[in-house]
Chains A and B, each alone.
Chain A
């Protein structure tokens, strides 16, 4: 029996794996100690649990446990990495390179630093969502201290060429930071092989709890340091003060372990379902897949259905299917997704997009239901769309003088 509603918004967050919850429960009640309490067994138990989780998390990304700094999540990690590097390496330079499709936690942090005197280059992306390495190379300056480019994009799932980016940064003596939120736990990420110096990621995107994340900070070749952004007890090697969220960290560890052991099987199954969904929806006239299909997360598909508006489209099935649209039709923001616009998509296509994010518990039955519901709604709304009628009559919609409001 198909149970509704269906959740296809795994880029936003994931349900917690029951195995993760089970691992966490004792750390709320009997093992409630503060990991920083050095004088009694409650503290020792908590510290032991944190150490174990630190190993589990480190192993997922090929790091040393000492290189893992626990945070409250990736927004904190992004802030700590970028602001921390900017302050720590101020004597070396003030130039940061990032790109226009980064998450707001990166973009707004960079904007904040610009007010404080930083110079920031925002690289454009190519129509497939990837940055142009030649442009990165050309943007490097003697004062460049940081290159901040995400591993995989949250809206379209494209995977940036991190290896090549790391090499360019290294050649010019800059550090390479990557927001690994969408990639870690979904595809193999190895900080050594990938040449990553700093990386933020979070538990709740990999079937772990919300409110806990990690910042990988390289300790060798080179040894990287970031200036703490919160003052206090000097936890996490002085880089992030604050009592550790022990149950959350235990859950993060377990989630990382499961992600590592189950990744291959999960990816094989989920990418097959994603492809089935995408291939079926591509059959609809005037539908376009956004982002480079060859360099993309296995569970993501972002599709524009031209001449229908995304929010109106979702309304056709959102009591049964949960997903996201690149369109926002509110008086606060009539702007469609800045990521899709950065790909060079017209506003009409950006307004017409849906993001499908599949996950560990997605079934074929759910995908079949989704294909049917989305297809029917697109066709129904096109019958109601003046733009579709014009398109069918051969009217050039772009040539019309629309009244901008």
Chain B
């Protein structure tokens, strides 16, 4: 299976690889996936508490090229968005942008899960209730 140019580009030059201070109150961390499934994503957001805007986003991913590209693209999209906007990022937007084939859609689902998990982590740290999301199905 050949990868799309956009996947190859994100894989070769991943954006926002790194680590934010997970103990900080202004940082939300999402760790999703499992080693036995062959992919683990950690996505982190830094939120400006006054404005609710995501000022920085970082990721680290163990997985195939599509998983790396999905998380790299997700961090790009997160920066500058408000937390409320970020919740709306849909895995199918990632699929479309990266031209992921059907067998790689689970990588985009994982990235969406990572975003939501990071947001919830941030919310809980700041005394807000966890958002409940509907299941995206098996991936």
Which chain A residues have a beta carbon within 8 Å of chain B's beta carbons? 307-312, 315-316, 327-332, 334, 336, 346-348, 351, 383-389, 397, 402-405
Contacts and interface: CB of A to CB of B under 8 A. Distances in A.
A386 B33 CA distance: 11
Contact of A384 (B14, B66, B102): B14
B46 interface: no
B128 interface: no
Interface string B33-72: 1111111111000000000000000001111111110000
User: Binding site of A, secondary structure by majority: helix, strand, loop or mixed?
Assistant: loop
A327 to B, nearest CB: 5
A354 to B, nearest CB: 14
Interface of B: 3, 8, 11, 14, 17, 19, 31-42, 60-68, 102-107, 110, 138-139
Contacts of B39: 309, 329
A331 B32 contact: no
Contacts of B19: 389
Given A329-B67, A385-B62, A351 B103 contact: no
Contacts of A332: 103
B139 A331 contact: yes
Contacts of B41: 386
Contacts of B33: 402-403, 405
A403 B116 CA distance: 14
B76 to A, nearest CB: 15
Nearest to A382: B62
B60 A389 contact: yes
Contacts of A330: 103-104
A145 to B, nearest CB: 38
B89 to A, nearest CB: 19
A323 B19 CA distance: 32
A319 to B, nearest CB: 9
Contact of A348 (B36, B60, B105, B139): B36
Given A329-B63, A384-B14, 8 more contacts: A309-B39, A309-B62, A315-B64, A328-B38, A329-B39, A331-B104, A347-B38, A405-B110
A268 B110 CA distance: 47
A397 B34 CA distance: 10
A384 B64 CA distance: 12
Contacts of B61: 384-386
